[in-house]
Amino acid sequence: MKLWIAWLPLALAACGGGSEPVPTGSTGLVTPPPVSPGGDTVAPPVPPGAAGMTLVWSDEFDTDGLPDARKWVHDTERNRTGWYNNELQYYAANRLENARVENGRLLITARQERLSSAPDFGGQNYTSARLITRGLASWTYGYYEVRAKLPCGLGTWPAIWMLGTGGRWPDDGEIDIMEQKGTSVADKREVLGTLHTRAYNWSGGTLGVARGAATSLPNACTSFNNYQMTWDADRIAIGVNGANYFEFRNPRNGDSAQWPFSAPQFMILNLAIGGDLGGAVDNAALPAVMEVEYVRVYQR
């Protein structure tokens, strides 16, 4: 059974509307005990990696239509000037063709089309969607699980990731829970987990390149898989289906350039087209879809 959850804004909690306090280390929305449509309290089974934790935020994608505006914002900031990493897409807002909830799943869809009538159109030949929780929910530490199926087409670059709320990259850190390259068929049979900081980032930080690893996942684009991240004051571990394949430990030297991960981060779900990791686009494979069954955040 999927969760049916009523969400309360943080403002209600702060004003004493009878809701629970904001969990330590989280901001944004407070989750009351999950309640089924029949009135029974229900909750998904706690994954082993979240043992001893409580579900503090989730989207189960139970209501068809546009993504829940109480949980997600459409990020369109770079449409006119072009997105980073030589990406080719225009990120549309509030457009069912690019982001919709249907039959218990979020469908982020990339299409070959030009939205030339849009006021922020930047000349792109593709559309897609980028959903973020910035300004609505962010967290420090916890266990994060996203169940998703990725697109198979070459040129697609799906990602599940987080950015620091301070808005300074790479100073505030970036956590890529899952991203998948699109430059070859082999790319579609593995996924990557990566961290970026001022000291370590893709362009070569003060101490070197970004820290991360890849793992084989032959069914990444044919089946749903659980993408997971464990984050506490000592380490960040990234895994899939209950097995970690990358770990980064806090050096405990007080250098925020190496460990900026003691402050809140917000969640991002997006499907980019082309670019440095997407590669050449196979237009015959479009439209391409990243399907997300749920996003869950657990904390102590």
**Catalytic machinery residues:** 174, 179
58: burial class by Cβ within 10 Å (0-12, 13-18, 19+)?
A: buried
123, 148 Cβ separation under 8 angstroms: no
CA gap 17, 208 in Å, rounded:
49
Closest alpha carbon to 181 in 151, 224, 148, 205: 151
Distances (CA, A) of 58 to 30, 146, 229, 296: 10, 10, 15, 4
**Nearby residues of 264 by Cβ (< 8 Å), 6 or more positions away:** 25, 26, 27, 138, 139, 140, 164, 165
Half-sphere exposure of 21 (CA within 13 A, CB side): 3
Are 10 and 30 a contacting pair, CB within 8 Å? yes
Per residue in 211-239, is it b (16+ CB within 10 Å) or e — as a string?
A: bbebbebeebbeebbbbbbbbbeeebbbb
CA-based nearest residue to 75, from 58, 61, 89: 89
Among the listed residues 116, 159, 98, the one whose alpha carbon sits nearest the alpha carbon of residue 287: 98
In degrees and rounded to multiples of 5, residue 290 shows phi and psi of -100, 120
SS3 breakdown of the chain: % helix, strand, coil, rounded to 5? Answer: 5, 40, 55
CA neighbor of 23 nearest in space, from 191, 138, 152:
138
